[in-house]
Amino acid sequence: MSGKAVVIQNLSYKYGPKIALRDFNLEVQTGVIHGLAGPTSAGKTTVMNILAGTIKAVGGIGKIFNHRLGSLEARKITGYVPARPAFYSNLTVWEYLIYLGMISGLSKAEAGRRANMLLKEVDLYEFRDKNPLGFTPGMKTKIAIVQSFMPSPQLVLLDEPLTGLDESGRQSILQIIRELSFSHGSTVIISALNWRDIESIAAAITFVDNGRAIISAGIDEIRNLYSFGVFRLNTSDNRILLNILPRLAYLQHIIQVENNCVMVMTKAKEQFRKDIPAIINSINAELYHFSEEEVNQKIIQRYLLPDKEV
């Protein structure tokens, strides 16, 4: 497990009878921003909580920089921003950061130094004496992120920090995460509902669904997979169509699927749209149905990366 920021194997967790994680595997390289993407209740927050040490897995093993999950050593080097960070009505930004910095083990003087430095890095120093409860959602998120960097963490966990922000707010938060990760040398795991929300800063993304890590790959490979065009066809003679289509070298995948349809996957989307009328005419068939489908996680998992489950 050495050389990795995070390695977890076959994690499982239950909330009562509900299985939140099942045989969950994840590897995160040191010094990168790694994304977790997936729908609500997929298991992303449970993974974050286990990594942060706030809950304990019921099965599986894992390490954070070679420290056992949940151990004091692992918690000391991990910063965490939950999906709904809490602030206090009686504490200013400065007092909030000092308080949580000291809880993480910093002296008051060191906490003050770190708070000053980080607030200046995110352009919020002038708000240090105000209460964050009255801030905009974007400003609250920035303060929460600053808090996670207070103890000079080797690993920072950000659970859906972009939720509820407009496009301008999302871009501002992404820029801050990128800059803080780089300047402080921290590995970051950030979760989001949609992978495209975090693709601009993520080196790799793991897709999570139904408590499992479905696909984990570098961002270039993910972008490559989502660049496919996926078409569904149904004609009066699919048997002959399936014999003709393989002659088109630019088609990567040709599959007969349910409802007597043919599914075609290609990078040459415009070329295929242009060629399909002549193809149908050449086999003297009628075209009953032709549509382009959205490339989604299930299509990628089933057809494009059948051996990629982690």
Cβ proximity of 238 and 260 under 8 Å: yes
The answer to whether domain 4-85+147-224 has CATH 3.40.50.300 is yes
Dihedral sign (CA 80, 191, 124, 87)? negative
The pLDDT score that the predictor gives to residue 119 is 95
- The amino acid occupying position 254 is I
Q: Check: CB of residue 272 under 8 Å from CB of residue 301.
A: no
Give the residue among 231, 221, 223 at the shortest CA–CA distance from 268. 231
Q: Which residues pair with 24 in a beta bridge?
A: 11
User: Tell me, what amino acid is at 170?
Assistant: R
Tens of each residue's pLDDT in the chain, 310 residues: 447 999 999 999 999 888 999 999 999 999 999 999 999 999 999 999 999 999 999 999 999 999 999 999 999 999 999 988 889 999 999 999 999 999 988 999 999 999 999 999 999 999 999 999 999 999 999 999 999 999 999 999 999 999 989 999 999 999 999 999 999 999 999 999 999 999 999 999 999 999 999 999 999 999 999 999 999 999 999 999 999 999 999 999 998 887 789 999 999 999 999 999 999 999 999 999 999 998 888 888 788 775 544 4
Q: Which residues of 244-254 are buried (b: 16+ CB within 10 A; e: fewer)?
A: ebeebeebeeb
> In the CATH hierarchy, which fold is given to the domain comprising 229-294?
Alpha-Beta Plaits (3.30.70)
Calculate the alpha carbon distances from 60 to 18, 25, 147, 157 in Å. 17, 9, 30, 20
What's the CA gap between 266 and 268, in Å, rounded? 5
Count of C-beta atoms within a 10 Å radius of residue 222: 23
Kindly tell me the number of DSSP H helices and DSSP E strands found in the chain: 10, 14
Q: Residue 305: what pLDDT?
A: 72
pLDDT at residue number 16:
86
Strand order in the sheet with 251-257: 251-257, 261-266, 229-235, 287-293
Q: Give the pLDDT of residue 11.
A: 95
